[in-house]
Chains A and B, each alone.
Chain A
Amino acid sequence: MADVQETQLKNQEATFAFGKKERKLLSDPLNDNNPVTVQVLGICSALAVTTLVYPSLVMAVAVVFVCAFANLAISLMRNIIPGQVRLIVQLVVIATLVTVVELALKALSYDVYKQLSVFIGLIITNCIIMGRLEAFAMANKPWQSFLDGIGNGLGYGLILIAVAFFREIFGKGTLFAGSPAELKIIGNTSEYLLNTEATWWLGWYANNGLMVLPAAAMFLIGIFIWIQRSYNTKLVDIS
């Protein structure tokens, strides 16, 4: 389905235009061609961080960055990359960008760096990035590839943050915990977890322990897919 659109783009002029097609490059991955719920890519590396919104947000930004610049770099080099070592070259580009992200994060926000630990590295194996390089950047001009990277990164980040939003609010009762803008939403977040006399006036909501388990992320994505496909029936049963 994406192929048609990609071959069309191949014939386009190399400008920094921002017309309808470019807009579509950004908006398509958000719904009709969402990398997670439709293309089933990239679920692996980052769902384990979706227990909280803040790290997910950082993760999403990192993926957008890596995806966009990897696409750009590969697209710039697309005519000189030798076919035999194509995959390795792509992996090295991605790994380099991820290392850049890791080094930058370690300098900017050590707390978040600690929290994300090995999952930053796992952006390398995020199939979205690899998939976009292979399917798009190898055949398209730099500017379009860059936009495609941003679009797919955003589509992925959207799901990531949506999952994290539900998991954090129902699992921990907070939003943006760990960031300077931490909000306490429901439940008596800081008081009730102890087993002593529950502070009843705030304790009307007990945090749902299920939401912090990995399984909850799977249920949530399953439900997102259900909702999306109920509205967007052309997507039903494509995989």
Chain B
Amino acid sequence: MGSAFNVFLEAAFIENLVLAYFLGMCSYLAVSKSVKTAIGLGAAVIFVLGITMPINWLLNKFLLEPGTNIFGGMLGQEMDLTFLRFILFIAIIASMVQLVEMIIEKYSPSLYISLGIFLPLITVNCAILGGSLFMVSRDYNLVESVAFGLGGGFGWFLAIVAIAAIREKMLYSDVPPALRGLGMAFILTGLMGIAFMSLMGIDPAALANGGK
């Protein structure tokens, strides 16, 4: 359990998907003009990440990875299907997003309207696919991948809510016209990235052991 908690902390704060890897920037910049919609989208990302990670983990292990996939068992020899990973992952993500869209539409029509076209964009939110790919490349186990999904989603949520709040305040600031809006959003994101960097030297494993 301890390692899962570390993975959660690391994904949320130290290796923030937006601020350290630029993942999910499109919707991050486009939907960060008001805090309210930012919270909605952030929550949707946490949910989609939290749900796609374990599904993709299971599918990756039992359908694709050589040695553990069921086809290999049936044919009695190792079979490497990992080259189908991209297609499988993106299909799962697309269908999960569709599901979330239907749920939100049913239970919160106002949120559905304000998120507008950005909900389908979660499919092409790199944070979601990136999460799944990082999970494979870092060889997480099932519990860790859930933790990574939730932590990464939470980090993304934090980042978008923070930038939305700053951008709301920025409306009252005197920014050079050419820099207004998008340009300033980039620079703010950079500054936030530096602020998050100060968390980087923290070693969650050492913290758990009471400091090493």
Q: Do A and B touch, yes or no (CB under 8 Å, in the complex)?
A: yes
Q: Which residues of A contact B (CB under 8 A)?
A: 37, 40-48, 87-88, 91-92, 94-96, 98-99, 102-103, 117-118, 121-122, 124-127, 130, 213-219, 221-223, 225-230, 233, 236-239
Which applies to chain B's interface (DSSP): helix, strand, loop or mixed? helix
Determine whether the beta carbon of B19 is less than 8 Å from that of A43: no
Query: Which residue in B26, B134, B182 is a CB contact (below 8 Å) of A225?
Result: B182
A91 close to B21 (CB less than 8 A): no
Closest Cβ–Cβ distance, residue B42 to chain A (whole Å): 16
Asked if A43 meets B194 with Cβ closer than 8 Å, knowing A91-B123, A96-B87, A237-B181, the reply is no
A134 to chain B, nearest CB (A): 10
Residues of B within 8 A of A (CB): 19-26, 29-30, 83-87, 90-91, 94, 120-121, 123-130, 133-134, 137, 176-187, 189-191, 193-194, 197
In the complex, chain B residues whose CB is within 8 Å of the CB of A237: 177, 180-181
- C-alpha spacing A79/B172, complex, angstroms: 49
Write out the residue numbers on chain A whose beta carbons fall within 8 Å of the beta carbon of B22.
Answer: 43-48, 214, 217
Known: A42-B26, A45-B22, A219-B190. 8 other contacts (CB 8 A): A44-B24, A44-B130, A102-B86, A122-B23, A125-B123, A219-B186, A226-B178, A238-B181
A125 x B126 contact (CB < 8 A): yes
A206 to B86, CA, bound (A): 41
Q: How far is the CB of A208 from chain B (nearest CB, A)?
A: 13
| Contact count A vs B, C-beta below 8 Å | 152
Q: Cα distance A225–B175 when bound, in Å?
A: 14
Q: Which residues of B contact A126 (CB under 8 A)?
A: 124, 126
Whether A215 lies near B25 (C-beta < 8 A) is no
CB–CB A216/B87 < 8 A: no
Residues B124 and A103 in contact, CB atoms below 8 Å apart: no
| B91→A92 contact, CB < 8 A | yes
